[in-house]
Structure 1
Amino acid sequence: MEYVLQTNVLCKKYQKFTALDNLTMHIPKGAIYGFIGKNGAGKTTLIRLLCGLQQPTSGELSLYGTLHSQPQIQNARKRIGAVVETPSIYLDMTAEENLRQQFQILGLPSYREISGLLQLVGLQDTGKKKAKHFSLGMRQRLGIAIALCGNPDFLILDEPVNGLDPQGIIEIRELILKLNRERQITFLISSHILDELAKLATHYGFIDHGHMLKELTADELNAICRKCITVTVTDTKALSRVLTEMGVEYKILSDTTADIYADVHISRLALTLDREHCELISVHEHDESLESYYVNLVGGDHHE
């Protein structure tokens, strides 16, 4: 598998404080990687290291197969665009003027791509309207357009929907999915809004106290978080026979309990079990979400 970013036992220390503690992570090319952790977990520190604003204390960081210690890392970083915390925009400029300014900063010789970028993020009709009069969602989309100057194929977004209204959240979500699908841009997204992140991410990384707790794909998370009914009965052997005949997926947990991975008609199940001389004692339905998975992973200490 080809990776845009890999770290291996990456550490960053500030005197006596360890911000990153042997962090090992992998972002595959084309992924939308949800980076999840509490404030102070080390997410921003990693972003600073990726962008070259700081250097690791120890360990390895690799972008497109180039180690951070190699001179070629500067060329690899040119393939990164980032919107960290709030978009870096000039409020007294129009959307087009902001992009022209970024093109000048990057030393790009032509402005021909600006109209296409404005159309891509849905700001083609803003005309002479200055950014200070934009909604928060429009400013966020302009920030993404600025990050796209120079055609990067790896975008880092820090809290991209923070403070947005529902329509703004939808617009940013659709833009991210469009860029990922049509331009094959890889994303690293740090967000506290986990329900929204679950609608986007193809991969997840859970960080706590600078250490990677778990990495998994969206499919793996969905398998863990799928809807489940836990039943307690007097005889799981009888339950097993009934569920097998019904063609339902299940897992026997003990002599009296089992998990059923399907929507079942409880009254019908109870009647069928009764014919097998088995009593249905209790039923508990649970459907774990990304948020509840995260809370369980960090031990319930969830303070965003």
Structure 2
Amino acid sequence: MREVPVELRAISKRYGGFEAVKSVSFSLMEGELCALIGENGAGKSTLIRLITGLSEPSSGTISMFGQTGRREIRSCRERLGYMSDLNASYPNLTARDNLVVRCIEWGLPTNRSIDGVLSTVGLGEAGGKKVKNFSMGMRRRLDLAIALLGDPELLILDEPTNGLDPMGIVEVRKILTHLNKDQGKTILVSSHNLEEMHKLATDYLFISHGRLIRRMTAPQLEKSCRGGFVLHVDDLERTRSVLGDETSHSFLPDGSVLMRYEEKKEGRGIAIEALSTAGVRVAEAYSHRKSLEEFYSELIGRESEL
């Protein structure tokens, strides 16, 4: 039976008259790599602070690994590794010494874990170098190494690719995939890099204005992001008479129509031929897939209309 590293039940957090998190409930299951998606001010950082114990909820309950008592949750948090959105290393120390200091602070053994952790994040050859000489990508990987000390089962990562160039982002993606798939670590990651999250996550939590508005698995998101077959045509009504009413459309500046036609690949040639026979000019035809940014924008737009 899969463990439940984190479960939130009707969690709210208020700062004076402002409610940053509003009755949020969800479970994070063992083995998931879950992306926490939301705009600035949506409540992502507040949720992370509540889970990691850096802040207390105003109402609701949190359980970790099945435990709900304060003392038990405090003990369970020893099974958690946290990576802040800010660099957590000491620039005048070497990478290895940074990890030694953290181990001493947290009462962890230093004899076996440090070299292995540095190797896991791709810094095995850089352990003796001072952090002030590191690139941003190396610093972020060192921050991840700090979070991995003690071999935690649960990782909470806040903007792990923040400030990285494309190659640095790819390196972090490979590390997180390895930690999740090969080492079985459960990961909750908050990021503004939605394109990267779309490549990485197994599950998604979408929040806006402090509320959880949708939870989805990767297959469910993929299905929702299928944009169908896009046709630029010159006659909306005639196109609908051929393809049926199960289409959506928008008008282009040149007066033509962009239509989204949900059809299997093998039927597209037949559709274009049928339109041509009916006298509809098809200027362009291509497959379209929504990005995570497009999906989230549409999701937020629908919520704002309610």
1:259 counterpart = 2:262? yes
Tell me how far 1:87 sits from its aligned partner.
2.7
Count of residues paired in the alignment: 287
Where do 5+ consecutive residues of structure 1 fail to align? 241-250
Structure 1 CA distance for aligned equivalents of residues 116 and 93 of structure 2: 18
Cα distance per residue 1:114-154 (max 9 Å; x no partner): 11111111111114310010011111111111111111011
**Following superposition of structure 1 onto structure 2, how do residues 96-245 of structure 1 map, counting pairs within 5 Å?**
96-229=96-229, 234=238, 239=243
The SS at the match of 1:199 is helix
Tell me how far 1:109 sits from its aligned partner.
3.4
Cα distance per residue 1:230-258 (max 9 Å; x no partner): 56674878758xxxxxxxxxx9459x995
Which residue of structure 1 aligns with residue 297 of structure 2?
295
Which residue of structure 2 aligns with residue 31 of structure 1?
32
Tell me how far 1:70 sits from its aligned partner.
3.7
Query: Structure 1 pair 65/230, CA: closer, same or farther in 2 (3 Å)?
Result: same
TM-score, with structure 2 as normaliser: 0.85
Structure 2 CA distance for aligned equivalents of residues 207 and 238 of structure 1: 40
Query: Structure 1 pair 89/8, CA: closer, same or farther in 2 (3 Å)?
Result: same
Contact 1:233 1:257 in 2 (8 A): no
1:84 counterpart = 2:87? no
Tell me how far 1:181 sits from its aligned partner.
1.4
TM-score, with structure 1 as normaliser: 0.85
Cα distance per residue 1:21-50 (max 9 Å; x no partner): 011122221111110111111111111111
Cα distance per residue 1:252-299 (max 9 Å; x no partner): 459x99522437655x53434667xx5657677542111101001111
Query: Structure 1 pair 235/59, CA: closer, same or farther in 2 (3 Å)?
Result: same
Which residue of structure 1 aligns with residue 253 of structure 2?
none
Which one is further off, 23-32 or 184-193?
Answer: 23-32
Cα distance per residue 1:59-101 (max 9 Å; x no partner): 111211222x442101211111111111311111111111111
Query: Structure 1 pair 6/281, CA: closer, same or farther in 2 (3 Å)?
Result: farther
Structure 2 CA distance for aligned equivalents of residues 95 and 235 of structure 1: 63
The SS at the match of 1:20 is strand
- State the one-letter code of the partner of 2:262: D
The SS at the match of 2:199 is coil
CA-atom RMSD in angstroms: 2.7
Which residue of structure 2 aligns with residue 244 of structure 1?
none
- State the one-letter code of the partner of 1:45: T
The SS at the match of 1:144 is helix
Structure 2 CA distance for aligned equivalents of residues 235 and 140 of structure 1: 52
Query: Structure 1 pair 142/263, CA: closer, same or farther in 2 (3 Å)?
Result: farther
The SS at the match of 1:296 is helix
Query: Structure 1 pair 24/272, CA: closer, same or farther in 2 (3 Å)?
Result: same
Structure 2 CA distance for aligned equivalents of residues 7 and 173 of structure 1: 27
Which residue of structure 2 aligns with residue 247 of structure 1?
none
User: Identity, % of aligned pairs?
Assistant: 38
Query: Structure 1 pair 54/145, CA: closer, same or farther in 2 (3 Å)?
Result: same
Cα distance per residue 1:196-224 (max 9 Å; x no partner): 11110110011111100100001000001
Query: Structure 1 pair 118/257, CA: closer, same or farther in 2 (3 Å)?
Result: closer
- State the one-letter code of the partner of 2:41: G
Contact 1:22 1:59 in 2 (8 A): yes
Query: Structure 1 pair 127/19, CA: closer, same or farther in 2 (3 Å)?
Result: closer
Query: Structure 1 pair 127/271, CA: closer, same or farther in 2 (3 Å)?
Result: closer
Contact 1:229 1:260 in 2 (8 A): yes
Where do 5+ consecutive residues of structure 2 fail to align? 249-258
Question: Larger helix proportion, structure 1 or 2?
Answer: 2
Which one is further off, 284-293 or 125-134?
Answer: 284-293
Which residue of structure 2 aligns with residue 243 of structure 1?
none
Which residue of structure 1 aligns with residue 252 of structure 2?
none
Structure 2 CA distance for aligned equivalents of residues 106 and 298 of structure 1: 41
Structure 2 CA distance for aligned equivalents of residues 35 and 181 of structure 1: 19
Structure 2 CA distance for aligned equivalents of residues 52 and 216 of structure 1: 26
